[in-house]
Amino acid sequence: MKNDIIYKKISKNFPAAKLKVFYDQTTPGKTSRQCQNIIKYSTIMGAFDKNKLVGIGRALDDTIYAFITDVIVHHGYQKRGIGSKIVKSLCNNLIKRNIKVIHCSTDKNLIKFYKSAADFKYESGDVTLFLK
């Protein structure tokens, strides 16, 4: 299967209804209002198969520090490197904006993924990762 996935920053005028459909298909529970606020207050990188949103990575920041809050890939698109590319794209976008520290807390079973996706270093004794 050919991988024609496009990676791009999701703009502030992205339809909240499309984001809600994505969350409903991947991690249900977000309300329409929450999706509107996610778009309004987050930096979001999306992975698109044609016009279908198949993955996201989002971060919150204060212009100095950023915190990656979600990296989600639709089940049917997993194991293709899409999540890694989303993390790399998101981190590159944050770095271009002069974010100094990118922080990510994750489950222990995902530490290897984040370390390989964006050169995070692992602080021992915790599951917190920081971009080098």
The tens digit of pLDDT for each residue in 60-103 reads: 999 988 999 999 999 999 999 999 999 999 998 998 998 888 88
Residue where the block lists tokens 């990188």: 45
Query: In the structure, what pLDDT confidence band is assigned to residue 120 with cuts at 50, 70 and 90?
Result: low
Residue 127 has a pLDDT of: 47
Residue 118 has a pLDDT of: 75
Query: In the structure, what pLDDT confidence band is assigned to residue 124 with cuts at 50, 70 and 90?
Result: low
Under 8 Å CB-to-CB from 28, ≥6 apart: which residues? none
The CA R_g of the chain, rounded to the nearest whole Å, is 14
Strands 101-105 and 52-61: unpaired
Nearest-angstrom CA–CA distance, 15 and 115: 32
Residue 122, pLDDT above cutoff 90: no
Residue 10 has a pLDDT of: 97
- Do residues 17 and 46 touch, judged by C-beta distance below 8 A? no
pTM score, two decimals? 0.86
Find the angle CA(7)-CA(102)-CA(36) to the nearest 5 degrees: 55
